[in-house]
Homo-oligomer: A and B are copies of this chain.
Amino acid sequence: MKCYSHPVMREVALADVMQALSDPCRIAIVRALGERGELACNEIELDVSKATRSHHFDVLRAAGLIYTRTEGTKCMTSIRETELNKRFPGLLKLVLSTK
C-alpha cells in the first residue's frame, strides 16, 4: 500500500501552488474536489490516461493543495482547505469561483 507524503504547508511557496494550478486538468480536479468533497481519483472525469491522471494528483499533492489517504485499493483525495485558507487566503475561493 502506497504511503503518500504531504509537504508542510508553511514551506509551500506561492510559485509552486501557481505552477500546480497552471494546468486546466488540475484546475478541474481541484474544482471537482471543492464541489463534491473527498473523492477517489477515478471519480473525477478527465480526458487523460490513468498514468497522466496519477501524475496530476502527484503535482497537486506536492504543491500542498490536496491530501490523499488510502482506502482499500482507492486513494481518497480532498482539498487541504483549512490549511490552504490560512497560508494562501483567497486562493481556493478564486479557483472555485472563477468561470
| Interface status of A14 (Cβ within 8 A of chain B) | yes
Take A22-B18, A24-B15 as given contacts and tell me if A91 and B94 are in contact as well, using a CB distance cutoff of 8 Å. Answer: yes
User: Can you pick out 25 interface pairs between chain A and chain B where the beta carbons lie within 8 Å of each other?
Assistant: A13-B24, A14-B21, A14-B27, A14-B95, A14-B98, A15-B21, A15-B22, A18-B18, A18-B19, A18-B21, A18-B27, A19-B22, A22-B22, A87-B98, A88-B94, A88-B98, A89-B90, A89-B94, A89-B97, A90-B90, A90-B91, A90-B93, A90-B94, A91-B94, A94-B94
User: How many copies of the polypeptide does the oligomer hold?
Assistant: 2
Please classify how large the interface on chain A is, using the bins under 10, 10 to 19, 20 to 34, 35 or more. Answer: 20 to 34
Give residues in A with beta carbon < 8 Å to B.
Answer: 13-15, 18-19, 21-24, 27, 87-91, 93-95, 97-98
